[in-house]
Structure 1
Amino acid sequence: MTLFVIAGILGAVIAVLSGLAGGSMRRLGLAGALTSLLVAGTLPLTPGVGLRATDTVSPTVLGLLPVAPWLLLSLLALVASVWTARRGGRVAALGSVIAGAVLLLSLIVWTRQPSQLAHVQPLPGVMEVVAGLLLLALVQVFTWTGPQRRTGLLVGFALGVALTGYLLSPDGRTKFPSTPGYYRVMRPVPADETTRLISGYNADLANLNAIRKSIDLPPLPPIKAVSELGAQGLPQAIADQGYRLLQPARPAYGEPVLFLTAALLLVSGLLHLRRPQLQQASDWLTGSVIAVLVTLLVPSFAATNFNLSQLVRGAPFLRDFLSRSWPPNLAQVNPQNPSANIYPLQEVMSQMALTVEIALVGTFIATLFALPLSFLAARNLTARHVLMRASYVVVRTFFNVDRGIDTLILALVFVAAVGLGPFAGVLAMAIHSVADLGKLYSEAIENAERGPIEALESVGATGTNVLRWGILPQVLPLFTSYTLYRFEINFRVSIVLGFVGAGGIGFFIQGAMASGHYDQMIIGVIAIIVIVNLIDFLSSELRRRLV
């Protein structure tokens, strides 16, 4: 319950601060209502527990409607809130207040429900329609206009339905085994059926305890109520029949979000009632964007196990790490045994120089290849001839494919091919940088002013002269700036490449950490900070003088 209170307070604080700043209250109301509707259909409200963690299902608000039909009132109130937002003023404010209050009350009622059994019922067709609607939306945003758009919309919807239907088919299960019945609803279990399941479990308990005793496990007590079902995980005999135990007091990550949006709706609506002028013409667009971003970010935080309390628990390790890293061990001299002398500072400077050289050589090679390729990837230079248009497609496709392969992946491939050392890092960096620089160069060429080019073409200048006198003087300053910026990026990338065996300061840091010599590792970290700032200042000064 503490989590729900914190989420509600946070939503109220957001609304109050936005109101004090004169922000649009209708925008907040729309964002809260649209986010709640999206969360209700996509994010889990309460987990349905089975025998094992892999058996757990995560029903949404829509999936829980058969079990908790009063949740439908909150959905209707949210839809009404979105509808009244079109009117603006106090009508929109009143809609937000009612929606927030109904949603908050529905959630509180749900969280106070006792544990109960529910039967998992897959809902076919939902994912196919959703996928079709997503492709339809993409076509709506990015495709052509006029009558062709209607055809594109229908084709996009049909493709989405057909592709998702294949993935849910028996053939598709061999590639995506978890997709069948992905969207599920929870069907309520009558009291007599629950009693029958518990009685059947208790009847078989003697045999189960005999098996547990043979493997030195403690016996299980008989179950008297539904609340006791989840103590050891839902019994296998019950879970295998498709039943799950709903525990409303244990929220999934969608529930705090709904408490936050409910408080946001309620408080923003009250503030909007007081000051009806707090609305803007762009409320619909910004509210929709906020709703989509929140719906995408919340599961992302949940999937990455984002938990600041774990960082707090790890504070002793961080303190130990820092204490072992400081002071830096610049040199360790043994007068009695000179052969045992260690000079970490000298090694760091040597590896740092190698890191800079890897970045320098990789950027230079990439520039040599990116410069001519960029002219073939510029639309304004390749539009007049069919062969040139073909070269444009080929080179642009190469740039896109190359940019999609991370430098670290390329480094792993080249380390396996040519062995450990800086050569693998140079190859990986050069190949990846060709695409980045080529794209930047080609876009600079496409944005060059047409005036000088047309003037040279009007007096009969050849293509090479047009490039030399009409295009290059415009784009060379940008080329220089892009190249220097890419060198800065490549220097940082070359540090990471050292961790996979491509040489340089990253390789030194990895070795020092693996051997527990944190007082040597910290020298490399300090050197990186110094050199990164030095390169940044020098490249900025060069860009200022050359561009």
Structure 2
Amino acid sequence: MIAAAVFALLGALIAFLSSLAGGSLRRLSIAAALSGLLAVLALPLTPGVGLRSSEAVSATLLGLLPSAPLLALVPIGLGLSLLLSRRGGRVGAIVSGLAGAAALLSLGVWLSRPAQLAELVPVPGIMEGVTGLALFALIQVFTWSAKRTRLAGLIAGVVVGALAVTYLLSPDGQTKFPNAGGYYQLMRPVTPARTSELIGSYNAGLADLNTIRQSIDLPPLKPLKSVTDLAGAGLPQAISDQGYRLLRPQTWDYGGPVLFLMAGLLLASGLLHSRRPDRQERGDWLAGLIIAAGVTLLVPSFSATNFNLSELVKGGPFLRDFLDRSWPPNLAQVNAQNPSANIYPLQEVMSQMALTIEIALVGTFVATLFAVPLSFLAARNLTARSVLMRVSYFVTRAFFNVDRGVDTLILALVFVAAVGLGPFAGVLAMAIHSVADLGKLYSEAIENVDKGPIEALESVGASGTNVLRWAILPQVLPLFTSYTLYRFEINFRVSIVLGFVGAGGIGFFIQGAMAAGNYNQMVIGVIAIVVIVNLIDFLSSDVRRRLV
């Protein structure tokens, strides 16, 4: 409950600071209500546990409604808040504040409840329907802006979405995507009589179970008196196998902090807005929708990546040991009695750094040779006069998109397997990936050239070669140079990482030093990277400033 209060107060603090800054308070109410509704539908609030961790089910607030009807106050209040926020004014603000208070109250009551049994009730078709709607929306993004493609986009979206839903519901789809079926599950409460029956059945078989446990030197289990006896342990397998899960309201998932944060934000922003009804703007709904979408995307991402700063604090001793072993740098290790055992890390770093720069230079140069001609085929304004040129435009653009989708590191792994360890694999990977990036930038520069010189030369009968030479190249060459230099900066950084997969250069040296535990040698490479990166950045920035 303390953590819940902290998140609610944090939401209130955000509203208070926004009020001091003169921001729109209705925008905060809309953002909080939308984020809360999305959390109700999609973010897990309370885990339902079985015996094993693989049996755990993350239940959303909507899925918990059969077991906790009072939680219905949350979506009802959020919906009313959104409905009245369209008009704005004091009445809508008061309703938003009341909705936030109701959400805090119902969530607090839920968190204070003891552990209870619930039965899993899968709801078929939810994930399949969401997938179909997502594909439909994706097609509309690309077709809705132009009126001539709007109808075709609607038809294509409906057809593709329906086909996706049909496939996912088919036996073949269920085989390839087994988690899609019944992905969304409700938590239906178990009656006291059924709970007593399950506990009695478990206790009846406990003697045989304890006999087995004693034979493998495990301590015997005690009989269960109530569900609260399971609060600190998992659910017995005999009960879990029947589709039951143990709900622990005091243990929340990442949807809990979001709901308390948004409830506190809604309560405070509503109260503050009721005092200042004029604190609203025309774009509040769009801004609120963007904030809600960001919250809904970021929060699961933080959870999936196990983002936890406390783990960094726990790793503090390791970091201190790492720094102690890295400093001072070991620039040279001379053995007067055995000169053959001398080690010169600084010399090796300089040699490998030179190789890294050379890999970036060659890779960028080769990519430029191919990107320049391909960029003219990928420029829309130069390929609109014939069917053949339009086909070349789409083919080249498709190649750029596919090539950009394959990371340089993946290409390096492929080429290391093909041509062996060394810088050649890194050059090939870098050049192939850079062709797409440079080609896209070059083609966009060509598409944005001034049409005046082109039309002037064409009006006097100049050939296409002369138009290219005298009208297009003078405009795009400075941009080409700037983009190439910028790509070289990126490729230098990429070449460092490629060394870790055997493509040579300073990355290969750092990997070897770390693997051997020679951190005081590795740090020389890190310092050299920092110095060279800054030098390249300052030099290329100065050149780009003079050219563009």
How far apart, CA to CA, are the structure 1 residues paired with 2:395 and 2:159? 30
| Residue 72 (structure 1) shift | 1.4
* Mean Cα deviation higher: 236-245 or 134-143: 134-143
Structure 1 counterpart of 2:415, one-letter code: F
Q: Deviations over 1:46-101 (max 9, x none)?
A: 00001110100011111111111111122111111001111112122112101101
Unmatched runs of 5 consecutive residues or more in structure 1: none
Q: Deviations over 1:467-500 (max 9, x none)?
A: 0001000100100000000000000000000000
SS in 2 for 1:59: strand
Contact 2:140-2:157 within 8 A present in 1 as well = no
Contact 1:366-1:437 within 8 A present in 2 as well = yes
Contact 2:372-2:439 within 8 A present in 1 as well = yes
Aligned residue number for residue 416 of structure 2: 415
How far apart, CA to CA, are the structure 1 residues paired with 2:432 and 2:223? 66
Distance 1:428-1:451 versus aligned 2 partners, 3 A rule = same
Confirm or deny that 1:201 pairs with 2:207. no
| Residue 156 (structure 1) shift | 2.0
Contact 1:136-1:154 within 8 A present in 2 as well = no
Distance 1:380-1:151 versus aligned 2 partners, 3 A rule = closer
Structure 2 counterpart of 1:55, one-letter code: E
Aligned residue number for residue 89 of structure 2: 89
Contact 1:128-1:162 within 8 A present in 2 as well = no
1:84-483 correspondence runs (5 A)? 84-144=84-144, 149=150, 152-153=153-154, 155-483=156-484
Structure 1 counterpart of 2:206, one-letter code: L
| Residue 386 (structure 1) shift | 1.0
Contact 1:367-1:434 within 8 A present in 2 as well = yes
How far apart, CA to CA, are the structure 2 residues paired with 1:153 and 1:101? 41
Aligned residue number for residue 25 of structure 2: 25
Structure 1 counterpart of 2:107, one-letter code: L
Structure 2 counterpart of 1:262, one-letter code: A
Structure 2 counterpart of 1:121, one-letter code: V
Contact 2:125-2:169 within 8 A present in 1 as well = no
| Residue 141 (structure 1) shift | 3.5
Structure 2 counterpart of 1:327, one-letter code: P
Q: Deviations over 1:354-406 (max 9, x none)?
A: 00000000000000000000001101101101111111111111100000000
1:12-91 correspondence runs (5 A)? 12-91=12-91
Aligned residue number for residue 545 of structure 1: 546
Q: Deviations over 1:23-63 (max 9, x none)?
A: 01000000000000001000001000011101000111111
How far apart, CA to CA, are the structure 1 residues paired with 2:235 and 2:151? 50
SS in 2 for 1:357: helix
Structure 2 counterpart of 1:16, one-letter code: F
TM-score normalised by the chain length of structure 2: 0.98
How far apart, CA to CA, are the structure 2 residues paired with 1:443 and 1:496? 29
Structure 2 counterpart of 1:86, one-letter code: R
Structure 1 counterpart of 2:249, one-letter code: P
| Residue 149 (structure 1) shift | 3.5
TM-score normalised by the chain length of structure 1: 0.98
Contact 2:332-2:346 within 8 A present in 1 as well = yes
Question: Please, what is the CA RMSD of the aligned residues?
Answer: 1.3
How far apart, CA to CA, are the structure 2 residues paired with 1:519 and 1:167? 55
How far apart, CA to CA, are the structure 2 residues paired with 1:112 and 1:351? 62
| Residue 229 (structure 1) shift | 2.5
Distance 1:158-1:235 versus aligned 2 partners, 3 A rule = farther
Distance 1:170-1:228 versus aligned 2 partners, 3 A rule = farther
Confirm or deny that 1:493 pairs with 2:499. no
| Residue 154 (structure 1) shift | 5.3
| Residue 153 (structure 1) shift | 3.4
Structure 2 counterpart of 1:32, one-letter code: A
Unmatched runs of 5 consecutive residues or more in structure 2: none
Q: Deviations over 1:143-178 (max 9, x none)?
A: 235596456335424533431442243322322222
* Mean Cα deviation higher: 410-419 or 332-341: 332-341
Q: Deviations over 1:117-163 (max 9, x none)?
A: 00000111222332333333334443235596456335424533431
How far apart, CA to CA, are the structure 1 residues paired with 2:27 and 2:207? 61
Distance 1:394-1:181 versus aligned 2 partners, 3 A rule = same
How far apart, CA to CA, are the structure 1 residues paired with 2:128 and 2:388? 41
How far apart, CA to CA, are the structure 2 residues paired with 1:262 and 1:234? 32
Structure 2 counterpart of 1:222, one-letter code: P
How far apart, CA to CA, are the structure 1 residues paired with 2:154 and 2:210? 60
* Mean Cα deviation higher: 145-154 or 460-469: 145-154
SS in 2 for 1:499: helix
How far apart, CA to CA, are the structure 2 residues paired with 1:296 and 1:168? 26
Aligned residue pair count: 547
SS in 2 for 1:70: helix
SS in 2 for 1:270: helix
How far apart, CA to CA, are the structure 2 residues paired with 1:492 and 1:456? 43
How far apart, CA to CA, are the structure 2 residues paired with 1:158 and 1:124? 21
How far apart, CA to CA, are the structure 2 residues paired with 1:146 and 1:381? 25
Q: Deviations over 1:160-213 (max 9, x none)?
A: 343144224332232222222101111111110000000000000011111111
SS in 2 for 1:58: strand
How far apart, CA to CA, are the structure 1 residues paired with 2:323 and 2:504? 25
Structure 2 counterpart of 1:272, one-letter code: H
Contact 1:169-1:180 within 8 A present in 2 as well = no
Structure 1 counterpart of 2:108, one-letter code: I
